[in-house]
Amino acid sequence: MNSNDELKQRTIHDFGEQWTQYRKNEGYYASAGLLADIIEPLLPIADIGGKRVAEIGSGTGRIVNMLLDAGAKHVVAVEPSAAFEVLRQNVSESGSVTMLNVPGDMLPASGDLDFVFSIGVLHHIPDPAPVLRAAYHALKPGGTMLAWIYGREGNEAYLAISEPLRIVTRRLPHVMLVALVWGLYPVLAAYIGLAKHLRVPLSRYLNGFLAKLSPAQRRLVMYDQLNPAYAKYYTREEARSLLEDAGFSNVRIHHRHGYSWTVVGEKLNG
């Protein structure tokens, strides 16, 4: 097993542990409104209605349920970790959902999907190219891939603090990381309050997203940032190249809240 494979397996384990501990999805954190905030203006949420879609890295089913709420006809939910059992509990096992306990690069090459979504996942995969190739082959001609990933631009001040901190936190056991998050949370809460009145780094992200979450959900976001074994923050050109190198055409990119990238591309041939 090479180093990328080892890192991939550790990351899958980390998220399996995370999402078996944090099972609930509610409020704005689980809303179709948040999905629209992530995918628009590149993809109107209304376009999902009546479509066959897949979601790579489904975790606890939060995005799957958003896609169903947006009117998706059928969702293929792909989750490789131990959180698969939580996914099964949180998503209705109806004819409108197919659940696959496999990595994203094993998404079946059905060639009949209208959309493939990967939201908050590719930046945790050391080599995302096989996942994107699988997405390409799962789409029908004219189908669309949408990825949301961390951005490097806009996160410079945050990364100066978080990257050294993650050297330690990604090795902490769950209980110790939870305690650290609780200890750091008052600092985040104060910074969110400051961002309501002053223009500070990440103001758009704080006011447009974090301020809308409950304290428990903000702590989950903190945990999610500090826990994974691998996380990459993409430049604009790297984000664009992810889809272009996988064969997608008409690639478009949106700098969401000044800190992340939403990227879409189309499969034009058969």
pLDDT at residue 4 in the model: 80
Hey, what CATH class is 3-152+231-266 in? alpha beta
DSSP element (H, E) containing 17: helix 3-21
Each as own residue / partner, the long-range contacts of residues 118-122 (CB below 8 Å, 24 or more positions apart, any chain) are 118/55, 118/56, 118/57, 118/145, 118/146, 118/147, 118/148, 119/38, 119/55, 119/57, 119/63, 119/146, 119/147, 119/148, 120/57, 120/148, 120/149, 121/56, 121/57, 121/147, 122/147, 122/149, 122/242
**DSSP code of residue 261:** E
- Tally of CA atoms within 13 A in the half-sphere of 109 that contains its CB: 9
Amino acid at 210: L
The mean of the pLDDT values for the chain is 95
Q: How far apart are CA 64 and CA 17, in angstroms?
A: 20
The pLDDT confidence band at residue 5, using thresholds 50, 70 and 90, is confident
| Helical pair 32-39 and 62-69, crossing angle rounded to 10 deg | 90
Which pair of tokens denotes residue 140? 């029908």
113-119: strand order across its sheet: 97-100, 74-78, 52-56, 113-119, 139-150, 260-266, 249-256
Poorest-pLDDT segment among 4-13, 57-66, 177-186, 229-238? 4-13
Q: What is the pLDDT of residues 207-230, one digit of tens each?
A: 999 999 999 999 999 999 999 999
Residue 141 clears pLDDT 80, i.e. is over it: yes
Nearest to 113 by CA among 93, 95, 88, 139: 139
Angstrom distance (rounded) from CA 211 to CA 192: 7
Write down the pLDDT at residue 1.
63
Residue 92 is predicted with a pLDDT of: 74
Helices (H), 55-210: 62-69, 84-90, 129-138, 156-169, 174-195, 203-208
Q: Which residue has the tokens 């947006």?
A: 70
**24 CB-contact burial (10 Å; exposed 0-12 / middle 13-18 / buried 19+):** middle
Residue 3 pLDDT exceeds 90: no
Mean pLDDT, rounded, for 52-77: 97
* Domain locations in the chain as residue ranges: 3-152+231-266, 156-226
Q: What is the mean pLDDT of residues 142-158?
A: 97
Q: Does 95 have pLDDT greater than 90?
A: no
Q: What is the DSSP letter of 82?
A: T
**Span 145-162, mean pLDDT?**
96
Radius of gyration from C-alpha coordinates of the chain: 18
SS3 117: strand
DSSP state of 89: H
**Percentage of residues in the chain having pLDDT higher than 70:** 99
pLDDT digits (tens, 9 = 90+) for 160-211: 999 999 999 999 999 999 999 999 999 999 999 999 999 999 999 999 999 9
Longest Cα–Cα distance in the chain: 53
Q: What is the pLDDT of residues 108-128, one digit of tens each?
A: 999 999 999 999 999 999 999
The DSSP 8-state label assigned to residue 231 in this structure reads -
Residue 7 vs residue 134, higher pLDDT? 134
